[in-house]
Chain A
Amino acid sequence: MLHIPLLRAGRPYESLAVSILSDIRDGAPVAEVSQANSGLVARDLAGASANQARLEEIPTAELLEICRRAGEHLGESELPVGEEGQTPKRYLEQVSATTGLPRAMARANLGKARFVLTEMETVLGGLTRGLDPKILDRGWGTQDGRVVSYRRETPVLGAVLPSNSPGVHSLWLPAIPMKVTLALKPGRMEPWTPYRIAQAFIAAGCPAEAFGFYPSDHAGASELLQRCGRSLFYGDSATVEPWKADRRVQLHGPGWSKVVLGEDAAADWQPHLALIAESVAANGGRSCVNASGVWTAAHGRELALEIAAELAKIEARPLDDPKARLAAFPSVEAAWKLSEYIDARLAIPGAEDLTAPLRESRVAEVGGCAFVLPTVIHCTDADHPLARAEFLFPFVSVVELPADELVAGLGSSLVVTALTEDPRLIHQLLTAPHVERLNLGPLPTNRVAWDQPHEGNLFELLYRQRSLQAVGDGMGNPRAAAAG
C-alpha cells in the first residue's frame, strides 16, 4: 500500500505509527499515513532556526522565481509521494477519493494554489502593500520616502490544516517567499495537497529544509501550536476556542459569510439570484467564503423561495462526474446525522426549510457516496439557532431585518457581500468590527482577490514593523540619519 511519510526538514521519515486512509465510496484502503509522535515534532522544531537560515540566504526575487516554477510543477509534474510518483491526474483521484470532493472541484482548487504560486509577486505585493521585496532581504529600506524595517517574528510557521477543501492551502504558500519555513499538520483525510505542494517547491529548487510535514493526532497539533512562533489553526469553534487568547495563533474557524441586501437591492433582487446561488454553493459549499446567510432589509420570504428553487436544481452526482457540484460526506451515517441535527432545530419555531417541499429527502446516495442536498431556511426569528448556522454543504438561512438593524445582527462574518448603494448601510459595514472581508457591489462572497489579505494578513502575522534609525546606510556608508 502507498505510504505517505513524514517530512522532517524535507527528509522523508516512515513512522511506525500509521493511520489508514480509505476511499469514502467503498472503504477500501488507499494509503497509510505516517503519524508523528509529539516529541518528534518538538525535537524537529527545536532546529527551526537552522532550517530558516537556508531560506534566509536566498534573495526574495529568487524565491519568487522558485514559487513560479513550483506552480508549474504542482499543476504539471509527476512528483514523489512516498515511494511512488504522483501525476496531477492521480493526485485529483486520490484527494477526491478520501475527501469526497468531486474531481472537477479538486481540479479547480489545484488551479487556485497554482495561480497563487505563479502570481506570487502580486500576492506578496498585496500582503505587504507594495513593499519592495529587497527590503525583506536587507532588513530595511525606504518606501515612499520613509525608512521602513521589518522584523521576522518566527523562523517557522505552524499550520494545523483542515480536510474540507484543497484551496485553503493557498493561504500559507506566501510564507516561503517571506523566508519563513513551514511545519504542516494536514487534515486527517487530506494529506495529499500539502505534501504535493512541498514536493513541488522542492522540485523547483526550494531548500527541502523549509518543509516539516507532521500528520498526527490532537496532541501533535497542540505541540505544533505550542512550539511555533506563529501558527494558522483551522478548526470548528470548540476546537479553536482554547487558543483564542494566544496572539501567536491565527484562528480560522467557521466563516459565517453572508450576502447583505439593503432596501434598494431587496426591492429588485432577481438580478442577484445567480450571485447568491454561487456564493452559497460554489465549491460544494465547503469553503469558509461560502455564504451561509442572506440578510435582507425586505422581501425575505420571496427571496428565500427563489433561492430554494434555484439551489434545489443541484443534484447529487458521482465524484468523477464533470458536472458534480456537491461534495460527498465521509459516511452515510454522517450525512443523516447532520440532516437530523438540522431537523431537530427546525422543530424550534421561527424557521422553515423551503427546500423540503421540493424533494423527498435532504440526504441522497449516489455512486457509493452520501450527499446532503442544498438547503434553504427562511428564518422569521433572527435569533433562531439556524439563523447563523454553517455546515459543510450548501446551506443558507435567509433573515429579514429592518435596514438599520442589519449590520448589528450579522454577527461574526468572514466575508460580507453588500448589495446596496445606501451610504449609511455601507458606512456601518465599513466600521463593523465583526466583518472581516467586505465586497461592495455584486461580487460573490467566494470571489477572492489575491492581492487582498484574507482572514488576517499573513505578512502581518509573520513580520512586525520595527523602528529603525541608522547613521549612513547601515552598510558602513555615510548618509543622513533617518527614523522609521
Chain B
Amino acid sequence: MTIASGSTLEQRAAEARRQLDVHVREMVAWHFDPATGCPFWLDFAADLDFDPRERIHGYADLKVLGHFQDEWLRGGPIRRWVPKGLADRPLYVFETGGSTGLPKSRVNIEDFQLDYELFSETLSDETFPKGADWLMLGPTGPRRLRLAIEHLAQHRGGASFHVDLDPRWVNKLIKAGKHQEMHLYKEHVIDQGLKILRAHDSVRCLFTTPKLLEALCEKISLAKAGISGIFCGGTEMNAQFHRFAREELVPGIDFVPTYGNTLMGLACHKPFELIENYEITYYPPAPRAVFELVDPDDFERTVDYGETGRVLLTTLTREFFMPRFLERDEGERAEPIEPYPWDGVTNLRLFGRLESSVVVGVY
C-alpha cells in the first residue's frame, strides 16, 4: 500500500482504511464479474438475493457474505477457484494442513512472488546481502514455502539451496510415540543442511523453522559458517523463543521472525528496535490481506487495542478472495505503526479453545 509520508500516523491510518475500502470494491468487482470471477464465487453469488458488487462498498460490508469456510478448500475440482480473468496463466496449487484428512488447496499464479517481493523490501541489505545465496531448511513438498523462498533469493539476486522436511511424517511419528525415529529424521535433515553450509561459502542467508534452527545451532556456529541473516517461521513462535534465539542461539545474526500462511500470504513483523520484551507483532500485507481481532464469543465485535481476540483473516487479491475467515489463532490487537499504518496482531498463538483438536506445526 502506498501512503503519503509526512502525515501523522493517525492520518496515515485513516488513509490506509480509505485505500482498503477502494481495494475491497475493486476485488469484489473482479471476483463477482461473470467475465473475470471464479466459478466458486459466481455460483455463490447466484444463490444470494443481492449482487455483492452493489451491496459491498468497503471492508465493513464484507459481513454480508458471512464467514469463509476453509472446508471449501478441501478436495476438488481445483479449477473452480481459478478466476476466469486469469484462466490462461500457469497455475500453481499449494497445500496447507493434511496431517489429518484432506489438505486444503489454494490456487496461486503470482501472489506468492508478489508477497515475497514486498517482504524483501523489509530485509536489510547488510545482513541479507543482495546476490548472496540462501539455504532453505524446512518443509518444501506441496507447500508454497519452497518456491516462495526460492523466489525471494532470486529476487535478491541469489540462488536457494533446499533441504526438505516432511511435517506430515513428523506428525505421524509423534502420534505413534516414535521419539527415536523422529530424532533420527531430524538428524538426517540437519546433516544435509550442514553439508550445504560447509560446501557453499556463498550461503549467507537462511530460512528455517524454530525447531530446526535449534537443532542446527547444536552442531554449528551459524555466525562462523558465514550466515548473517535468518528468516525464521513456518510455525508458531513466541516471545520466549524469539529472545532465546537472539540471546543464545544466534547472537549477532539478524533474526527475522515471520508469519505467513498459504491462505493469507506473508506478514511483516514490527521492527525489533520498536518492540519491548521480545514481543512479536505481525502486520498483514494490507490491503492484500487484513487481520481483524474479534471477540471469540461475538465475531461481530472487534476487540479493543491490547485486548485478546480471535484472528479474522480476509485475503483480497485478484487470484484469491477469502472474506472473514476465522483463523485457528488468537492474539492481542496491535495498533498501527509507522511502517504499517493498520492493525496488527501481537503474541499470535493457537486459539486456546482449539488447542486440543488442532495439529500444530511440529517441525
Interface, chain A (partner B; CB < 8 A): 15-17, 35, 37-40, 42-43, 46, 222, 225-226, 241-243, 246
Q: Are B178 and A15 in contact (CB under 8 A)?
A: no
Would you call B241 an interface residue if the criterion is a C-beta within 8 Å of the partner chain's C-beta atoms? yes
> Which of A16, A40, A222, A225 counts the most B-chain CB atoms under 10 A from its CB?
A16
The smallest beta-carbon distance between B283 and chain A, in angstroms, is: 21
Q: Are A226 and B183 in contact (CB under 8 A)?
A: yes
Q: Which residue of A lies closest to B213 (CB)?
A: A39
Closest 3 CB pairs of A and B: A242-B177, A39-B214, A17-B240
Q: Contacts A39-B249, A43-B248, A241-B177 known; A15 to B240 CB distance under 8 Å?
A: yes
Would you call B239 an interface residue if the criterion is a C-beta within 8 Å of the partner chain's C-beta atoms? yes
For B249, list chain A residues within 8 Å (CB).
Answer: 39, 43
The smallest beta-carbon distance between B247 and chain A, in angstroms, is: 10
The smallest beta-carbon distance between B192 and chain A, in angstroms, is: 20
For A43, list chain B residues within 8 Å (CB).
Answer: 214, 218, 248-249
The smallest beta-carbon distance between A221 and chain B, in angstroms, is: 11
Q: Are B239 and A226 in contact (CB under 8 A)?
A: no
The smallest beta-carbon distance between A112 and chain B, in angstroms, is: 32
The smallest beta-carbon distance between B87 and chain A, in angstroms, is: 45
The smallest beta-carbon distance between B349 and chain A, in angstroms, is: 10
For A222, list chain B residues within 8 Å (CB).
Answer: 179
Interface, chain B (partner A; CB < 8 A): 176-180, 183, 210-211, 213-214, 218, 238-241, 243-244, 248-249, 277-278
The smallest beta-carbon distance between A236 and chain B, in angstroms, is: 13
Q: Are B218 and A242 in contact (CB under 8 A)?
A: no
For B177, list chain A residues within 8 Å (CB).
Answer: 241-243
Our pick among A16, A226, A242 for the contact of B243 (Cβ within 8 Å) is: A16
For B239, list chain A residues within 8 Å (CB).
Answer: 16-17
Q: Are A37 and B244 in contact (CB under 8 A)?
A: yes
Our pick among B178, B180, B213, B218 for the contact of A46 (Cβ within 8 Å) is: B218
Our pick among B180, B210, B244 for the contact of A246 (Cβ within 8 Å) is: B180
Q: Are B214 and A42 in contact (CB under 8 A)?
A: yes
Our pick among A16, A225, A226, A242 for the contact of B238 (Cβ within 8 Å) is: A16
Give Cα distance in the complex from A15 to B278, angstroms. Answer: 11
Our pick among A37, A42, A46, A246 for the contact of B241 (Cβ within 8 Å) is: A37
Our pick among B218, B238, B244 for the contact of A40 (Cβ within 8 Å) is: B244
Our pick among A39, A42, A242 for the contact of B210 (Cβ within 8 Å) is: A39
Our pick among A39, A226, A242 for the contact of B244 (Cβ within 8 Å) is: A39
Q: Contacts A225-B179, A226-B179 known; A17 to B248 CB distance under 8 Å?
A: no
Our pick among A17, A39, A40, A243 for the contact of B211 (Cβ within 8 Å) is: A39
Give Cα distance in the complex from A46 to B180, angstroms. Answer: 18
Q: Are A17 and B238 in contact (CB under 8 A)?
A: yes
Give Cα distance in the complex from A39 to B238, angstroms. Answer: 13
> Which of A37, A39, A42, A241 counts the most B-chain CB atoms under 10 A from its CB?
A39
Give Cα distance in the complex from A40 to B239, angstroms. Answer: 13
For A243, list chain B residues within 8 Å (CB).
Answer: 177, 179
For B241, list chain A residues within 8 Å (CB).
Answer: 37, 39
Q: Which residue of B lies closest to A17 (CB)?
A: B240
Give Cα distance in the complex from A463 to B239, angstroms. Answer: 40
For A38, list chain B residues within 8 Å (CB).
Answer: 211, 214
Q: Are B240 and A16 in contact (CB under 8 A)?
A: yes
30 contacts between A and B (CB under 8 A): A15-B240, A16-B239, A16-B240, A16-B243, A16-B277, A16-B278, A17-B238, A17-B239, A35-B240, A37-B238, A37-B240, A37-B241, A37-B244, A39-B210, A39-B211, A39-B213, A39-B241, A40-B244, A42-B214, A42-B218, A43-B249, A46-B218, A226-B179, A226-B183, A242-B178, A242-B179, A243-B177, A243-B179, A246-B179, A246-B180
